[in-house]
Structure 1
């Protein structure tokens, strides 16, 4: 039994999410092959070959795969995937974009956002915004799976020595073209990879008040997130949203400031190792999941906390 992991990368470097997917593949058992599809992606392929537990790296280096457009990537993955028992990708924007197309091409059902592996054909995944965990068994010849990366520890990035093999890239489908991108740049850690996350909610009052969280985050070396209510109110950009319809995070420390604790938000952060909540409403649902709670005015508590760090 061999498993194909689709690497997420920037051509120059391997995404941290790929390491979590490799761990999920290890729990299934069998040889693990990693597909690095891109253009000028030799550096990412090199990094993939060093990941512990990987036995082979397949490299599809073609101009049509430069930006991993799903119309070009999915046919390649589907063709290669016929020879594997499982195809795994991270449940990120990229993975969710191309893997359903792969499942459709192979005429199998997709199992989405698994958080645990029971056996080679049985997996656990959250449903109802994480309020219930479904155990799913698949009899598909090829199991197409997205992995919720917060459910698995990252595999060691060093220690492997996988063979690297070139494969033919897919032809340009001609259905879409990459026009451009605007990347948000920040000196703070990326939200989904940060060990500490400080998030603000509707209680922040307005976007200007997020300066208190930025000051605290800079002292802690943390990323800054927000609840859907804060994003919908226009306080901060939507790429900062944590929750079921935002980003799923599981840092070592999550500090929720002025966040009531709606189910939508809890679904995105309740796997955090330690949760600290600051809210002036002692009945706020966030306190039910918090390891530490402080009933206080955030505009007094956060500056005081920041001065002590």
Structure 2
């Protein structure tokens, strides 16, 4: 029998798993900030219980069990984190006053660097399992169904392993997985389309999108959207569909008035292209929003514009930058 590592070895062995555990908690909770708290709690629980770890499973599996239990406990007292598209039908009038609900616990994006895989063999799977549409769809599932689907379909655990982790039966796991898959297909049928690396044409389109925003050329932005594109902006509850409606929304509500008022810094979130948006005020640019984009072969199909300025800290970006120096924000 192989001796169990000592407590002194615990952090050395467990630390390399921190990013994937953060991704797991993020999938469960829909919040990078909550996920960080639950990962810390997972490591604390594991440290305290390590003398009882018998080594019947790997350390990785054991930590996932603890993290899943911690997430389920946390979800007992928390509401689901929606996007505006999860609240109802699209808004009919793009020029109407925007309704805001800052008190709602909105879904949050996660920087790729916090949860991304280093192994090229698993990077596509990693991108697939954190894309924003999946995280939003998971919020529609009851917490235990959410856990079952993540453990079975993302982590590829056997039904018996999931049953042991959740203190239930394999029959209950298989039944819960079937219901979760059906619900997911109903609320997010687009998840059947696999996530793929951006093509050269899509990267060029992103460059044009960024340039159009920085020129504040609404017509050029609209041309880059697909015919059924969706635009949403938490904490505003409305969402808009179709290039014409989105164009009217931007023209009516964006505070920019001309070229140079906006600066976009490319970032990566949820395995998708994203931009940190800055707005010019006085002699500098100030944090304004974080956009996460979904791309198809036809153009930009979905934009979620998050107005939570704390996200700039999460992405390691400055809240302000000089008007003459945009490059410093991406360092």
**If the length of structure 1 is used for normalisation, what is the TM-score?**
0.29
Write 1 or 2 for the structure with the bigger share of helix: 2
Greater strand proportion: 1
TM-score by length of 2: 0.28
